[in-house]
Amino acid sequence: DAQTILASARATGGQIITVEDHYKEGGLGEAVLSAVGAEPGIIVNRLAVSGVPRSGKPNELLDIFGISAKHIAKAVRQTFAN
């Protein structure tokens, strides 16, 4: 719910990271962004599939689209480096 998301964001300095294995549009990240959009000082970093979908091994596709474990870890380090 929106209040829980806001409380969590405030506890992490206004930072939120969402990760989804499909497009940004219509997904979890969009719902989170909608819930916090009117709140000042909240930043949502959304990792999701971009570009044209393709076939391949799951781990390779996660890496290609920037949503593998190493990409998530990098986003977390960059987001909370301040």
Domains of the chain, by residue range, sit at 2-79
Q: What is the pTM of this model?
A: 0.86
For the chain, the DSSP string reads: -HHHHHHHHHHTTTEEEEEEEEESTTSHHHHHHHHHTTSTT-EEEEEEE-S----S-HHHHHHHTT-SHHHHHHHHHHHT--
* Best CATH choice for the domain 2-79 from the list 3.30.565.10, 3.40.50.1820, 1.20.1090.10, 3.40.50.920: 3.40.50.920
Per-residue pLDDT of the chain (82 residues; tens, 9 = 90+): 899 999 999 999 999 999 999 999 998 999 999 999 889 999 999 999 988 888 999 999 999 999 999 999 999 999 988 6
pLDDT at 54: 87
